[in-house]
Amino acid sequence: MADFLIPPGLALIAAGLLVPMVQGRARSVLLLAAPLLTLWLIWQVPDGVVLSFEFMGYVIAPVEGDALSRLFATIFAIMAFGGGLFSLNRDNPTELSAAFVYAGSAISVAFAGDLITVFVFWEIMAVGSTIVVWCGGGEARRAGLRYAAIHLLGGVLLMAGIAGEIGATGSTEFRAMQPDSIARWLILAGFLINAGAPPLSAWLPDAYPEASWSGMVFLGAFTTKTAVYVLLRGFPGTELLIYVGLYMVFYGIVYAILENDIRRLLAYAIVSQAGFMVSGIGIGSEIALNGAAAHAFVSIIYMAVLVMSAGSVLYMTGKRKCTELGGLFRTMPLTCVCAIVGALSISSFPLTAGFVAKSMIPQGAADENLMIVWILLAAASAGVLFHAGIKFPWFVFFQKDSGLRPDDPPWNMKAAMVLFAFFCIALGVYPELLYALLSSPVDYVPYTGAHVVFQLQLLLFSGLAFFLMLGWLKSTMTITLDFDWFYRGLGRALQREFQIKGSAAWAAFADRTYRAVVRFLETVYRHHGPQGVLARTWPTGSMAFWITLLLGAYLIAYYL
């Protein structure tokens, strides 16, 4: 066992628990310094198990390092720093504390070498993220309850699967596996729920947009990407994931195009982007797995830019509907520029981070002769430009003049957006910085003439289609029904029906019970009351006769 000081995730969790205990400048220093310390600790973790102990006869390895662990832990720490910087003027220590515990738990999952550690920090993540949602106030309370219910279901499935897997193998090791047993299917189901996979994808756009302007920055980074990490670690090459991922991709695109709420639009974009990664994991080739990991890394960055820009608009205007916004480029130029950079990156525009990472996944499909998958992923890339690439910045910062004249947000929020926008461009211009972090050598050149021309053609076609169809895409004050209707609308209807039927059944049961009790009491009174047979005064001779008769019967029975 190598020398080791502090598990990186626990350091950030400890910092999160300290947040409510400090105020003012000390809290700001803690919010910025703790993620940087955690990042330094991450890069002190060597390959292999560096911290382990026995528990109930099983080996627990809370910290096991390799390139994949460090990749995800690194971007989680960077995101914690960016989220802390963006949230410096958020006067809610509960949210900030829960957010850091949430981020630290994600880092702990990334370094977990056994299934028990994965489960423990998986559940702490669920608790931390639920508190972050609740801190949004208002509708966030009910959305947080629905969010918690879905993640508790996922946790139960994961716990049952892990128990079955340990019982079958006798080992707690977290390693690559195939879903060839009920226990492993349960583990896979638990992971997919957090990834936003069907049929429960709606938990994400239901809960995330109800968080505060700062809370969604944290929420968009950790849960789905941690799920991608454990799928990369546990189920690479599982063919089912190709089709699950494709469903997620197009589900997110279609609903984002229909959406009027900019934060819900971005929430659907998170599901769509996670779908690309899940498909890459299902393809299972080296380039596809590298693409899924690289895409997870850069997706956190450009989604942070987009969510931060939406949060800045909400913070400065109090509005989040496309129909209420427009023309903000006049007074929020920096926010507008950062949003455009994020939009270009999510659309895989050349010289942005999305171009050098996401394109490896379709290339993996092409190398495996999965032509239909390649075509669908290419079409999905055009669809992403349609909603997050153009619709979000167009309807928020351009289109009609809404009459709103807000300034750009405070300096810390601008600094966070600029920092992540810079990462989007830096990794797009120098992809070797990203490729060097991946777990396998990267034999892929993104900037070939054919690839650049193909991507530009795809994006230009999609952009032209957007403006030709702009009249049809005009946002209206409508509500899009998602699968959460089944456990929100239909669930409430079933609850009301159950309540009516249950109340009627209880009333009938109570009435029957009451009547039975009354009859019993009447019978008792009839026999034992003042005029009852057993309560009357009997003549002495009659009593002697009956006693003699009973004694004689007893003696006969005794001798027989």
Q: Say what the pTM is.
A: 0.86
Residue 532, pLDDT > 80, answer: no
Residue 160, pLDDT > 90, answer: yes
What pLDDT does residue 476 have? 65
φ, ψ for residue 287, nearest 5 deg: -70, -35
Residue 544, pLDDT > 60, answer: yes
Q: What percentage of the chain has pLDDT greater than the value 90?
A: 55
When pLDDT is averaged across residues 34-61 and rounded to a whole number, the result is 89
When pLDDT is averaged across residues 450-478 and rounded to a whole number, the result is 76
Do residues 189 and 161 touch, judged by C-beta distance below 8 A?
Answer: yes
Say how far apart CA 8 and CA 34 lie, in whole Å: 10
Let me know the angle formed at the C-alpha of 316 by 314 and 318, rounded to the nearest 5 degrees: 45
- In terms of pLDDT, which residue wins out, 231 or 519? 231
Residue 474, pLDDT > 80, answer: no
What pLDDT does residue 3 have? 55
Q: Is 175 left (phi over 0), alpha (psi -120 to 50) or beta?
A: beta
Q: 442: which 2 tokens?
A: 């990267």
- Residue 381: pLDDT band (50, 70, 90) is confident
What pLDDT does residue 199 have? 87
Residue 355, CA distances (Å) to 34, 252, 291, 334 in order: 31, 19, 11, 23
Say how far apart CA 292 and CA 81 lie, in whole Å: 23
- Residue 4: pLDDT band (50, 70, 90) is low
φ, ψ for residue 7, nearest 5 deg: -60, 125
Tell me: cis bond preceding 199? Omega within 30 of 0 counts: yes
Say how far apart CA 72 and CA 92 lie, in whole Å: 27
- Residue 538: pLDDT band (50, 70, 90) is low
When pLDDT is averaged across residues 47-68 and rounded to a whole number, the result is 88
Do residues 309 and 417 touch, judged by C-beta distance below 8 A?
Answer: yes
Maximum distance among all Cα pairs of the chain, rounded to whole angstroms: 125
When pLDDT is averaged across residues 451-479 and rounded to a whole number, the result is 76
Residue 2, pLDDT > 50, answer: no
Among 214-228, 259-273, 282-296, 511-525, name the one with the lowest average pLDDT: 511-525
When pLDDT is averaged across residues 165-190 and rounded to a whole number, the result is 91
What pLDDT does residue 75 have? 96
Buried b (16+ CB within 10 A) or exposed e, 486-501: ebbeeeeeeeeeeeee
Do residues 101 and 90 touch, judged by C-beta distance below 8 A?
Answer: no
When pLDDT is averaged across residues 357-362 and rounded to a whole number, the result is 90
Say how far apart CA 308 and CA 412 lie, in whole Å: 11
What pLDDT does residue 496 have? 79
Q: 317-359 pLDDT, tens per residue?
A: 988 888 888 889 889 999 999 999 999 999 889 999 999 998 8
When pLDDT is averaged across residues 477-491 and rounded to a whole number, the result is 72
- Residue 382: pLDDT band (50, 70, 90) is confident
What pLDDT does residue 96 have? 94
- Residue 235: pLDDT band (50, 70, 90) is very high
Q: Tell me 389's DSSP state.
A: I
Beta bridge partners of 54: 59
What pLDDT does residue 1 have? 42
Say how far apart CA 371 and CA 273 lie, in whole Å: 20
What pLDDT does residue 555 have? 84
The H or E element that residue 62 is part of is strand 58-65
Q: Tell me 18's DSSP state.
A: H
